[in-house]
Structures are given as structure tokens and as C-alpha cells.
Structure 1
Amino acid sequence: MPSFTQFNPVRLRSYILRLPLCTRLLLTAMVGLWMAAIPFPWLREMSSLSPDKFDLTQMHRLNLFPLMHLGFLHMFFDVLAIAPLLERFEAEFGTIVTLSLFTGPFGLLPGGLYLILEKGILRGNTAVMGSSVWVFLLLASEAIKTHKTNPNFSIGPYKIPTWTTPLILVLITSVLIPHVSFLGHLCGAAIGYLWGLGYIKFLVPHEKILRWVENKLNLLGRLPHYVSVDQKTYGRYGVLPSTGIPIPIGPVAMGPRSPEPGQRLGP
């Protein structure tokens, strides 16, 4: 993503226009819900993950709490943080997988874990909201991949395991930024570790099923910026920004490749 020291409106516009489909939809939902909550502040209460208000009739909170934010700055910094991570995830796994995970298990699992720990063990009732639960989920997943090729990094005489980086960031944000949920961020990171280690990959349907759905509905031809399961490495319009994947020379093989009470998740 363009750095602030080299800010260029043209490059920023180009970056936004090249975002893959699911990333666009989720970022738009975050901004849209923040805007909708200005004239309708009750939307925040309805979307927050509040332990005492949660029951089987409130399952929508598990899907909405990562998309809702306390205010503009909360939403703005969360969007900046998650956009490149979400884009990278979609470029690797495809649009249909990303959409199914981030509208389902990646909200339900960290949210459910938070409810169990906050209400069942700590006996608390702190409401949380914000997409930084996804930020730490994706950071933890990336940390596991990085750890396999670069197990440690050095700080002075100390060697720190690479996989601990998200946990260090969770601690730093909790100390430096007021009113963030330490437990909420930990729950997001925990699910990210499980995904990175492959323990919950069964949540994604088999690739043959996904390819059949894509071909049957002609999703690649009908939806702009759709990233196919078959072409997830290259996307519809070539390599997406920040993927770090080189373009091969020669033919490409076409085989599988707030005003409201509660704590915010994020700055």
C-alpha cells in the first residue's frame, strides 16, 4: 500500500481500483455501516458483540461486530490496517473462499471464543466491535508462514520466534492505545494461528466443488475483479498489489494453483 511519505493520489486511486472483489465488498461494508450509524446510532448497539445480550436470537452479532466501528478514526485506521492483509489473502485463496470465511467462520470462531472467555470464565460483560480482530487473525496466519522460512528475528542479543510477532503487537496496542480489547485481539490471533497451522482448513469446501460452482455460474466472466480458485495466484487482471509474487516468463500453466459503551477492536 502506498506509504504516507510517498503519497500519490494517482497511485492511491490505482491501488483502490485494483482491489479484488471481496476485499472491496468488506471495506465498503465497514465504511457503509459507519456512515449508517451516524443517523442511526442504535446500529452500533445492535452490531456489537455484547456477552450479556447474546443468545441464539442474536447470532447476527457474530457476523456484524467485525464490520462495525465506534467512530471515524476507529474505522479509518482499521480499514488502513486490514486492506493490504485482506487483499493478500484473497489473492492467495480466491474470492469465493475469502467471502465464505469472512462472512462465516472468521467471525463466528473468534467471536464465540471471546464470549466463552469473557462471560464464561472472566465473568465480564465488555462489548467489542471492530475489524482489528481480523487484522490480528491475518497477521497470525502470515506469521506462521513466515516462521517456516525465517524462524527467528534478532533484537540486540535476543532471538525472538517469528510466530510471536502478532502477540507482541497485541500487547503493544493494548498498552499504547486506550480502550482496545486485549482479549478480543488474542481471540482473533488464536484463530489465525489455527488457520496458519492448517487445523481449520476443513472449513473451506474442496477445490473441485469451488471450481464447479465458478464454472457453472461463470463467476470469472460475470464479476469484475473476481479472483478465481484456478487463477488465485494471478487474479483476473494479473498480479495484485502487495502479493509479492513474480510474474513468470512464458506461458502460464492453467492448473490448480464511540458514543456507545464498549471496547473497540483496533486503534
Structure 2
Amino acid sequence: MSWLSGAEAIVKSLELHGVDTIFGLPGGQLDHLFDAVYKTDGKIRLIHSRHEQGSAYMAYGYARSTGKVGSYSVVPGPGVLNTTAALCTAYACNSPVLCITGQIPSHGIGSGRGYLHEIPDQLGIMKKLTKWASRIEQPDQAPKLVQEAFRQLQNGRPRPVELEMAMDVMALEQEVELLKPEKISVPDPDLDLIEEASKILGKAETPLIVVGGGAQEASEEVMQLAELVQAPVTFFRNGKGVLDDRHYLSQSFPQGHRLWRDADVVLAIGTRLKYQQMYWGLDSELTILRIDI
């Protein structure tokens, strides 16, 4: 147990979960949080933006380029609302982005008294824009809620989450027990379905592999499978780069459209195939195998 302020409890919990960068824009409700980041002596670097939207998009870009959680912190109310375009982009693109925002004094939340940066039901708004959102109401709640935030970010389909804490709670000191990250368990695959799919793919005469954003961390496996069955690989939007464009089996999106017409088996990895099914067409002779969360 350590005697920590609410802000220190958040920052130390983030540090335990491997956060080394926070993008942000300072403001009155975040003074204690930014002080706590400063006290890490560079273990967590703070990258300043000129607009809240920039902070959120930088966190999104960080998540996309590194595969790690991208974190940003902005003031409540209009500040956090300025980041909603980036949050919605991260949601649509299945990117792990953590939004840490302040709040007005805890006794004024929901009062409608016109506090600086007050908006009605900020937490309710954020719950509708993210995979999960919560308010830390006491410093000793911070470790558990940060742990839960990372569980949501790393379990199942990765999407943005939000944590908020009132400015007075950030300053409040309590005895806090810090928690180590939970080990995320990967669900066991259905071996019978895998065997059935492998038989179908093995018998295919003109197989085609289509990859989406969900396959970004499986580039090596996709390449090995494509080479094994000699199947061309095409992509849609977020699937670009899963297979190196210079690889002899890599096909552009327009070429993928042409290959789709002649394919007898399509293996879709990390994609909903929404565009292909809507615009490229389906027929009774096409078998689709789909691997996705």
C-alpha cells in the first residue's frame, strides 16, 4: 500500500501497464495529473498538442503504428468532445486508444451550475462512443479501473475506452494498492472447424485470401499460409500492409476484384468482407471461410 493522490494512482497504474507516452493538452482540471506525469522522471513522456483533436489522433496513430495502447489526456466538457472524431475513427478501425479526461469538482457533477467545462452527462456520452467508460470516484479505485480499462482494450475486439476523474479527486490522497496487469487469456480455437476449413482450402482450385485490419499483427502467418496454398492475397483499407506489396502473391485492391470473380474459395482474415459482399457479389459456387473476432 502507498499513500498516493488520485492523479498519482492513475499515472503509476498506467506505468505498470506499460504506458510510456501520453499525448495531451494541459488545462485546469488536469494540473495534478500532469504533475504526476512529471514526477515519473521521463518514464512517461508527455507530447503536447495544440488542439485536443490532435492529441486524440496522435494517440490513434501511435496505436496503429506500434500495436500498443495509445493514450491521451484532455480537459473535460468541450475538450473531450473535441476528440470524438478521433475516438469514432479508433472505434471503427478497432484501435486500442485510452482517453483519460478530467471532470469538474465531484460535488458539482450533474448539478448544471455552469462550472468551467461542465456538460450534461459526460460519462453517458463517452459510453456511447467507446467500448467501455468509467469514472474513478476515489483514488483507491484507480488501480482496479485502470486494470479493467486495459482488459477491455486488449480482450476481444480492440476499441477505445475512457476513464475520467474529478479535479478534487485527483488531488485527494489515500492509501492505494497498486495492481499488476492482468494476463489476457486467448480463447481456444475450435479444432474441428479449423480441420474442416483446412480441407476446404486444400481442395480449392482458385483460392483467394482477403485480409483486413484484424490481420495486421499476423503478417508472418498470412505470408506462410499464402505461400503454402499458393493463394493471392488482396486487402481492403486497413488490411493494406499485412502482406508486403513487393511479395509475388500480393495483389492490389482492383486486382483483387478481378480475382474475386474466378475464386472458388475465399479465406477472409480479420475483415467483415462488407464491401466485397455488397459490391463484388456472391454466387452459389463461392465458398467463404472467415476468421475474425
Query: Does TM, scored on the shorter chain, surpass 0.5?
Result: no
Q: Which of the pair is proportionally richer in helix? A: 1
